[in-house]
Amino acid sequence: MCGIVGILGSKPVATDLVDALRRLEYRGYDSAGIATVENGHLERRRAEGKLRNLESRLLSEPLTGRTGIGHTRWATHGRPTERNAHPHMSAKVSVVHNGIIENFRELKAELTAKGHSFETDTDTEAVVHLVSDELDQGRRPIDAVRAALGKLKGAFALGIIFAGEDDLMIAARQGSPLAIGHGRGEMYLGSDAIALAPFTDAITYLEEGDWAVMRRSGVEVFDRAGECVTRPLVKSVASSLLVDKGNHRHFMAKEIHEQPDVISHTLSNYLDMANARVAFPDLGVDLAKISRVTISACGTAYYAGLVGKYWIERYARLPVEIDVASEARYREAPLPDSGLALFVSQSGETADTLATLRYARANGQRIASIVNVRTSTIARESDAVLPTLAGPEIGVASTKAFTCQLAALACLAIALGKARGVISEAQEQELVTALVEVPRLISSMLHNEEQFVELAQALSKARDVLYLGRGSSYPIALEGALKLKEISYIHAEGYAAGELKHGPIALIDENVPVIVVAPEDDLLEKTVSNVQEVAARGGQIILISNANPEKIGCALAAHIVPPTAHPLTNPLIYAVPVQLLAYHTAVFMGTDVDQPRNLAKSVTVE
């Protein structure tokens, strides 16, 4: 995840900006930079690689401004070069940005037609020129940003400073977190409270859609509608050495809300977003000549792999074998020549998965792994590593690591389909564009969380809960059931919807909630018939679907409506409501959400 910091200080801020960025290094980055207001004009220093390179630059070319912004960048649009590093700026405005501006190509074309000249490959530069264009029309900085925000589409966080404005910084949050720190005659901005820990423990967290006008005397916060609002000032317990919960009650809640941010960074590792193309790393094997993909994983990672099976077979027309690692390691399964063995693990230390990896290597497979820890054993023993850029996941029940695994698998499916000639260039652009929209769509769901709180109170009374899904929604049903039993201790099971009448329907009565994951796609009609079977037996139907309820043809206990998305991305979108449902049910029941009984984050023994 990119890191954002900002300081309205009483003394030169360059050193403190770099120190704050250092506390965000855990997020990962490939370049860094700062910009300050220097005697009325803007100056910046940027460098590729680690912060020490930026520090060396500042030693030879110091900055003395008291107002500044800083950024550690993980490349999304454009290569990790100094030219593409943040802050981006014009003569009038400088911007640091986290997230994705989905409509930057349209904005770039519009602004280029007006005479603006773009110098980088990034989406962020569109924000610079958009605000500059509003300033050129005579608007004041605050009004210019207000107008520009209304034209941006995507999930993002922004920090903005202006030439000639030594006592002004503007922040905006839409899908990516931002924290504002309060000091004595100073104000601070950070991606999270960790960056601000040495300066202040008085924090205001911006809510979704907020934007804020910061001066040394304080901050004014405005909501999405432009109304001035009051956000609570809280005492942070963040340490520069610890990951912080922010303004969330549990780490799991924080990690659910981080998903728009971390998914965008994971996608950026595998996609050329500027040109809507896949840009997959070299796996050391000709993707067109792979005879079969064999996936092995445990728990939630297995369900991610199961979604990957649907995707790879559909979009690459390549056969996929998948098994839970604890079974695969003992099955002594025959493995084909020219096969790719793919291992999915959050920690990269899962004992059963590692043992299966070693079996696959002994049987001549090319080894690739999807892991969140690049220094892990599984990563070290793989021929190719596909990292998920989820950052530290503290909650035992995986959330953001799961959706980042899905993001990496979706990109792999497209890369395989392209290499095998199954996907045309037009289809590639369609699929990549759909993936780029995912952070914004998830963010829109997180903005309507209250419905899950109400539903959780009813669900907490159940002893047994069934989840149903069909096609790529079936693994999401399995994952939803796993999440609920992991953290609420309610017995829950996931089933393929078509299997309902082959046994599980015997469990259904008026006391059994049945949660149906059913996006409106070419399988909806079949799933509806299963829903009607549940209704006929008095089951309480909780529908998670963007379909019109009239198409269901029976009474619903509740209807959660995710945004409409491309069929490829539905598993990513629909993972979020099943996470929220489990989380709020567990909170209502008072269980230990982050550390549920009997469970460990990483299973390193058999």
Spatial contact of 470 and 498, defined as CB atoms under 8 Å apart = yes
Q: Return the residue matching tokens 């009474």.
A: 555
d(CA 238, CA 200): 10
b or e along 235-259 (b: 16 or more beta carbons within 10 Å of the residue's beta carbon)? ebebebeebbbbbbebbbbbbbbbb
DSSP 8-state code for residue 441: H
> What kind and span of H or E run contains 103?
none
Name the region of 202 (left: φ>0; alpha: ψ -120 to 50; beta: rest).
Answer: beta
In the numeric block, which tokens belong to residue 526? 């079949």
3-state secondary structure at position 475: helix
Q: Pick the catalytic residue: 2, 298, 404, 411? A: 2
Q: What are phi and psi of 402, to 5 degrees?
A: -65, -50
In the numeric block, which tokens belong to residue 544? 């998670």
Spatial contact of 134 and 142, defined as CB atoms under 8 Å apart = no
DSSP 8-state code for residue 284: S
Q: Around Cβ 79, how many Cβ atoms within 10 Å?
A: 13
d(CA 406, CA 415): 14
d(CA 576, CA 479): 11
Nearest Cα residue to 440 out of 206, 159, 156, 123: 156
Spatial contact of 207 and 235, defined as CB atoms under 8 Å apart = no
3-state secondary structure at position 444: helix
Assess whether 50 carries a catalytic annotation: no
Q: What are phi and psi of 210, to 5 degrees?
A: -75, 150
β-partners of residue 465 are: 492
Q: Pick the catalytic residue: 50, 153, 485, 601? A: 601
In the numeric block, which tokens belong to residue 78? 């454009």
d(CA 596, CA 236): 25
d(CA 319, CA 331): 19
DSSP string computed for 13-49: -HHHHHHHHHTTGGG--SEEEEEEEETTEEEEEEEES
Return all residues near 334 (Cβ < 8 A) that are at least 6 apart. Answer: none
CA separation, residue 49 to residues 89, 285, 390 (Å): 20, 28, 20
Q: Return the residue matching tokens 């069909």.
A: 470
Q: What are phi and psi of 558, to 5 degrees?
A: -160, 155
Q: What are phi and psi of 64, to 5 degrees?
A: -120, 5
In the numeric block, which tokens belong to residue 579? 């996470």
Assess whether 601 carries a catalytic annotation: yes
Enzyme catalytic residues: 2, 601
